[in-house]
Structure 1
Amino acid sequence: MPEHRVGTQEEFEAAREDLLAEEKKLTRRSDELARRRRELPWVPVEKDYRFETENGTKSLADLFDGRSQLLVYHFMFGPPYEAGCTVCSSIADTLAPNVVHLKARDVTLICSSRAPLDKLLAYRERMGWSFDWVSTIGSDFHRDLGFLHTEEELRPFLEGEIPPTVRQMARASGTDVLGYVTEGPGLSSYALSDGTVYRTYVTTARGLELAMAYYGLLDRTPMGRQEDGEEMFWLRRHDEYGKTLEPPISL
């Protein structure tokens, strides 16, 4: 544990009051951004996307499952992967218990990936999740939202110095660097009104931290995230902590 300033209870309470005022400002700012997010213009989805599901091929409208709102988490699990992305898996750990609560507010939450459906369902069983997971093989769904990249688009990154964490995550998914970074994570939101599906919101990168509950909790611990300068990422799938991990394939 590093050295840290030690003070009295009175000093703590005074500093906490100052911090609380800033936290309340942030909360009010977050509420304002949520309002603006809801006011974004809706865009009709004109493509006839198709998805492979446990109950056959379905359209995007079918995925609402009788509700008027749909959240799709774009889970990094490409066709060559042997296991889902470690980070996406940690996000799914947060998403899974919330499915029932979202249904109570007229929202269906699913995951979407490009790997074959049987791979997705087998991995879902391993992880103990119960949300609906669909495969988009043959569909431009992820590509059109910016969550699928071509080798040509990735060439500048691939020709540079690949961060060790990227190689680590690729090995953990049983693929190479290109196979791993071809996929991208994201969250997209939809509304169904009078038979028309509208896209209402899309986010990625740190916009996904709302579903990474451990970060919010770590931010409130004495030492925080402790990720600066780490060459190997600390995160593991929930059934891998305490295990010595071997790469699924030689890269």
Structure 2
Amino acid sequence: MNAITSPENAIVSREEWLEARRRLLQLEKEETRLRDKVRAERRALPWVRMDKNYVFNAPDGEKRLADLFDGRSQLIVYHFMLGPDWDAGCTGCSFHSDHVDGALVHLNNHDVTYVAVSRAPIEKIEAYRKRMGWKFPWVSSYGSDFNFDFHVSFTPEELASGSVRYNFTEIPREQAHDELPGLSAFYKNEKGEIFHTYSTYARGGEELIGTLMILDRAPFGRNEETTMNFVKRHDEYEQAPEASSCCH
């Protein structure tokens, strides 16, 4: 269990609490309106035609990017941190992935397919998926430029250069790994043309992690020292804490 550091909140009357809660409600309403504005701007982003023919390895054989849509017009790709030489998936990516399976039926019935992509060979992916008990589609981009083109995997030469391009900016080597997380969205029209519509990185996908949204309403919130430092893989909570949430 994560150690709880109790804050020193004021103890007040019910009337004083209601007054403070109403002030917070105004901020929450502002946040909701801003979130609606951001969503509208996200939907209005221009698109980029995908001309490169990426090939992925799935449990049932090779698949092209078009195949990942699985008969639907919209595709969400989660860039899961699991490198070719890693022994297990990133703890933070695993935390995210614990929230996916229950959403699949709703996404699929809304014309959206969800697929995780990692550079690890498919055999390693399948072994880790079995350990975690997940059902969502997960393919390997091993041998493909896909992860590198979407700036979630980095070559030794890039890392040695002192900085890498991540989250639409240059970040120093000290903040980078050979793999980093992200999420990308694609659309396929009736002609079969594919367009890249959106990508987000770093903390950009936090709203997809329901546990964090619930914790944000709990008395002590996330109670974290660094981003998600309290998280472990779901089969490791009786073991010693991980040194980092995003390293193998």
Task: Tell me the residue number matched to 1:243.
Answer: 239
Deviations 1:109-140 (A, max 9, x none): 01000001011011111111101100001111
Task: Tell me the residue number matched to 1:127.
Answer: 132
C-alpha separation between the residues in 2 aligned to 1:214 and 1:232?
Answer: 11
Q: What amino acid maps onto 1:224 in structure 2?
A: G
Percent identical across equivalent pairs? Answer: 47
Task: Tell me the residue number matched to 2:218.
Answer: 221
Counterparts of 1:201-220 in structure 2 under 5 Å? 201-220=198-217
C-alpha separation between the residues in 1 aligned to 2:174 and 2:178?
Answer: 14
Task: Tell me the residue number matched to 2:180.
Answer: 184
C-alpha separation between the residues in 2 aligned to 1:61 and 1:51?
Answer: 11
- Per the normalisation by structure 2, the TM-score is 0.86
C-alpha separation between the residues in 2 aligned to 1:121 and 1:150?
Answer: 24
Q: What amino acid maps onto 1:151 in structure 2?
A: P
C-alpha separation between the residues in 1 aligned to 2:107 and 2:208?
Answer: 14
C-alpha separation between the residues in 1 aligned to 2:242 and 2:200?
Answer: 33
Deviations 1:154-192 (A, max 9, x none): 2337xx9968xxxxxxxxxxxxxx8xx101111000000
Q: Is residue 39 of structure 2 the alignment partner of residue 34 of structure 1? A: yes
5+ long unaligned stretches in structure 2? 1-5, 164-171
Q: What amino acid maps onto 1:207 in structure 2?
A: G
Q: CA deviation at 1:70?
A: 0.3
Task: Tell me the residue number matched to 1:83.
Answer: 88
Does the residue aligned with 1:199 lie in a helix, a strand or coil? Answer: strand
Deviations 1:183-224 (A, max 9, x none): 111100000002101000000111011222222222222222
Of 133, 148, 154, which residue of structure 1 is paired with 2:159? 154
Q: What amino acid maps onto 2:121 in structure 1?
A: P
Task: Tell me the residue number matched to 1:197.
Answer: 194
Q: CA deviation at 1:151?
A: 2.4
What RMSD in Å do the two structures reach over aligned CA positions?
2.4
Task: Tell me the residue number matched to 2:103.
Answer: 98
Quickly say closer, same or farther: Cα 1:48–1:116, change in 2 above 3 A: same
Q: CA deviation at 1:97?
A: 1.6
Which structure shows the bigger proportion of residues in helix conformation?
1
Q: CA deviation at 1:234?
A: 2.0
Task: Tell me the residue number matched to 1:137.
Answer: 142
Q: CA deviation at 1:36?
A: 0.9
5+ long unaligned stretches in structure 1? 164-177
Task: Tell me the residue number matched to 2:76.
Answer: 71
C-alpha separation between the residues in 1 aligned to 2:215 and 2:204?
Answer: 17
